[in-house]
A and B are shown apart, each in its own frame.
Chain A
Amino acid sequence: MLRDAILPPPSSFCAPLVFLLSLLVLVASPPSLAHGQQTDSTLTVGSKKFTENVILGWMGTHLLRSEELPATHREELGGSRFLWEALRRGDIDAYPEYTGTLLREILSDVDVTRETLADTLARYGVAMSQPLGFNNTYALGMRADRADSLGIRTIGDLRDHPDLTFGFTNEFMDRGDGWPSLRAAYDLPQSARGIDHDLAYRGLQSGQLDVIDLYSTDAEIERYDLRVLEDTKDHFPSYQAVFLYRRDLQTRAPAAVDALTRLEGQLPADTMQALNARSAIDQVDEAQVAAHFVNRTLGLATTFAPDTRAERLRRYTADHLVLVGVSLALAVLLGLPLGIVAAKRRLLGPGILAVVGIIYTIPALALLALMVPLLGLGRVPAITALTLYSLLPIVWTTYTGLQDLPGSLLESAKALGLSPAATLWRVELPLAARSILAGIKIAVIINIGAATLGALIGAGGYGQPILTGIRRANLGLILEGTVPAAVLTILLLGVLEGVERALLPRSMQT
């Protein structure tokens, strides 16, 4: 199942730019970045950004490690499409998926049934384990007290209560088996708005929402005393949990396939719901929940010591600094010349300003999403997206800084006999420096914030604890990402302030 927006296909207008830029990123990055941070022999398990999938991802990772296979876990990736693309590209080797999602969403354009699913996947170079045991289907839920007072038991009963407020995950809002087709199937009069799944539970609690979409193994069903409305028309398909893995794993690392398939049939629905509750409600780290399960059920001896806060902070900071540092450097290297060309070439100028403006209007999340099919997961696509995103302030302030210079000064330079290039270098850029530095400062602020989204495509950074914190409704974890990001912003702005003082003559300082 997909809990996140299905991402739009990459639009063609920026594709050449993206390729050019990613080439630059590759050149500019240390070699270890170029291939998703790991060597070829390391196996990578992916997981989506919700508790159950993260736990399953950790189970797979623990099982691989128990076979002495080097394995890493890229947890909390931004959506099913990301993982599917990443699996096909080889950025990851395996991830937990659901049959309903495969049939209705990922392969919705293909003629495929549950019976032909494994053969169809094989055509994409993907293999599928037997079901792990539980069926985590979509459902609609309400608070039990509210449902009782209105006498609602089934989805069809909602028809008689047009005033109810519906809040669904953005993915549910437009997926094939989601709200539009459900609404048609049951002839429901309500309209609905999109909302993050973890926030939806809180909306339901506070009474701002009456009906949300949920998953039949959600730990919150019991915790919040929710009523799961009966799907009397069997609208929702079956969502059997399986492990997907690359077919080449069968030859590359047969032990890995053996390890992953040990989970087959081991996870009945009540077991999964209990594991989800351990994490979502008791706040136990998913890696530990998964380790405990595989040790007890499959007789492994996995020990997993979660990182201390200091270790985590160090890792997040290192990741975040790479994202921000490389992308800002590239944005300056690209943005400055683009701004100069925009200011100097009447014909090109409006086009350049428009293109960087349009790029900026793409929501940061969507821009990241555009990168995944082109560049896969990890730092390269994240840095590429961040670079594109940081161009706007730098290009525009360079442009306006140069445009706003008094004509008399440019004439003076010309009258002295300076060539256009020398005028630019010795007169125009120094005079526009304040404006350009202001643009770079804005880019820093934008970039550090947007870089937290990099965690959604496996680039790590301060976004990782924020994602986990939102998922577990854990303010401490959210602050673990937001506070250092704010501190980093202040520090970097301080550095730039120092650069400004060092670079600018006193006549140009305030």
Chain B
Amino acid sequence: MITLDAVSKRYGDAVAVQDLSLSVPAEETTVLIGPSGSGKSTLLRLMIGLTRPDAGTVVVGDTTLTAATAPSLRRRMGYVIQEGGLFPHLTGRGNVALMARHLGWAADRIDDRIADLTDLVQLDPDRLEQYPPELSGGQRQRVSLMRALMLDPDVLLLDEPLGALDPMIRADLQDDLRAIFRRLGKTVVFVTHDIGEAGFFGDRVVLLRSGEVEQQGPMRTLLDDPASPFVTDFIQAQRGPLEHLHEDRE
């Protein structure tokens, strides 16, 4: 669904992504993981054209991402970031409906779509009439997800969407999000630095190190057959994923 071919990106002297090629399969959840500075967020931004590669190409579907194709491609991709990126001057509903209104959707169609999405993300509809600063962190991320899904995109990109939430709410949202991903069957790219979360969500996990792919595949492969001592070190730095793997084996 998304193909990166020999993509490089530097910020000044710092290499963010180095000659990286990667294929994101359709209708699966791919998790990008790695330590801070490994290039995972940059990779996500390259996929939606918020960052332009210094070299290489990004192809979404069968369209090469360029300045000219970016606006229309972005409407086929939903993007959620850590703090949600909701506009504080608009209510939850205003945020969710923004693009649809801009594109001239009829009011009925917008209302129907929002009603469906409210069900999907399990948000109290009253919350939609509130402004982002009036919502809890978890509610904001649910609204943010609704906004990303409003135009029914093929691809959903999430950049540490749960990173700022406390553990209980985070666990709740993790369950809900995974259910949503499975129900919608969309192509999902999910960035996290939490190996537990990666295992929980990822059909495939891509472990990045210094802007290059260290290893990719199902989490089990990374566990059972690590490509390098770095993979083992990275996974063992956190204990969480083992529990989920037990669940998955059952």
Find the residue from B48, B87, B90, B98 having the highest chain A CB count within 10 A. Answer: B87
CA distance A389 to B88 in the complex (A): 33
Contacts of A416 in B (CB 8 A): 74-75, 79, 98-99, 147
Query: Looking at the complex, which one of A414, A417, A507 makes contact with B132 (CB distance below 8 Å)?
Result: A507
Determine if B81 and A507 form an interchain contact, defined as CB atoms under 8 angstroms apart. Answer: no
Q: Is the interface of A mostly helix, strand, loop or mixed?
A: helix
Number of CB contacts from chain A to chain B under 8 A:
61
Determine if A411 and B50 form an interchain contact, defined as CB atoms under 8 angstroms apart. Answer: yes
Contacts of B72 in A (CB 8 A): 417
Find the residue from A411, A430, A433 having the highest chain B CB count within 10 A. Answer: A411
Determine if A417 and B74 form an interchain contact, defined as CB atoms under 8 angstroms apart. Answer: yes
- Within A280-306, which residues are at the interface with B (CB < 8 Å)? none
Interface: A110 (CB within 8 A)? no
CA distance A506 to B91 in the complex (A): 10
Interface: B181 (CB within 8 A)? no
Known: A417-B71, A418-B99. A409 touches B50 (CB 8 A): no
Contacts of B89 in A (CB 8 A): 427, 430-431, 433, 504-505, 507-508
Interface: B61 (CB within 8 A)? no
Determine if A505 and B90 form an interchain contact, defined as CB atoms under 8 angstroms apart. Answer: yes
Contacts of A427 in B (CB 8 A): 87, 89
Contacts of A433 in B (CB 8 A): 89
- Within B42-76, which residues are at the interface with A (CB < 8 Å)? 48, 50, 71-72, 74-75
Contacts of A408 in B (CB 8 A): 81, 83, 85
Q: Which residue of A lies closest to B71 (CB)?
A: A417
Per-residue CB contact flags for chain A residues 364-408 toward chain B (1 = under 8 Å, else 0) read: 000000000000000000000000000000000000000000001
In the complex, which range does the number of interface residues on chain B fall in? 20 to 34
Contacts of A413 in B (CB 8 A): 87
Contacts of A113 in B (CB 8 A): none
Interface: B133 (CB within 8 A)? yes
Distance of B204 from chain A, by nearest CB (Å): 23
CA distance A504 to B131 in the complex (A): 12
In the complex, which range does the number of interface residues on chain A fall in? 20 to 34
Determine if B90 and A412 form an interchain contact, defined as CB atoms under 8 angstroms apart. Answer: no
Query: Looking at the complex, which one of A409, A419, A508 makes contact with B85 (CB distance below 8 Å)?
Result: A409
Distance of A410 from chain B, by nearest CB (Å): 9
Contacts of B85 in A (CB 8 A): 408-409, 411-412, 415
Contacts of A419 in B (CB 8 A): 71
Query: Looking at the complex, which one of A409, A417, A504 makes contact with B99 (CB distance below 8 Å)?
Result: A417
Query: Looking at the complex, which one of A417, A418, A426, A508 makes contact with B88 (CB distance below 8 Å)?
Result: A508
Interface: B175 (CB within 8 A)? no
Interface: B134 (CB within 8 A)? yes
Contacts of A430 in B (CB 8 A): 89
Contacts of A506 in B (CB 8 A): 131
Distance of B249 from chain A, by nearest CB (Å): 37
Distance of B132 from chain A, by nearest CB (Å): 7
Interface: B102 (CB within 8 A)? yes
Query: Looking at the complex, which one of A415, A426, A504 makes contact with B48 (CB distance below 8 Å)?
Result: A415
Query: Looking at the complex, which one of B75, B98, B102, B134 makes contact with A507 (CB distance below 8 Å)?
Result: B134
Contacts of B134 in A (CB 8 A): 507
Distance of B113 from chain A, by nearest CB (Å): 15
Q: Which residue of B lies closest to A425 (CB)?
A: B102
Interface: A24 (CB within 8 A)? no
Determine if B88 and A431 form an interchain contact, defined as CB atoms under 8 angstroms apart. Answer: yes
Residues of chain A at the chain B interface (Cβ within 8 Å):
408-409, 411-419, 422, 426-427, 430-431, 433, 504-508
A–B complex contacts, Cβ < 8 Å, 8 sampled: A408-B83, A412-B81, A414-B50, A417-B75, A427-B87, A504-B89, A507-B88, A507-B134
Residues of chain B at the chain A interface (Cβ within 8 Å):
48, 50, 71-72, 74-75, 77, 79, 81, 83, 85-91, 98-99, 102, 131-134, 147
Task: Knowing that A412-B79, A427-B89, A507-B89 touch, tell me 15 more A-B residue pairs with CB under 8 angstroms.
Answer: A408-B83, A412-B81, A412-B85, A412-B86, A414-B50, A415-B79, A415-B85, A416-B75, A416-B147, A418-B99, A430-B89, A505-B91, A507-B88, A507-B133, A508-B88
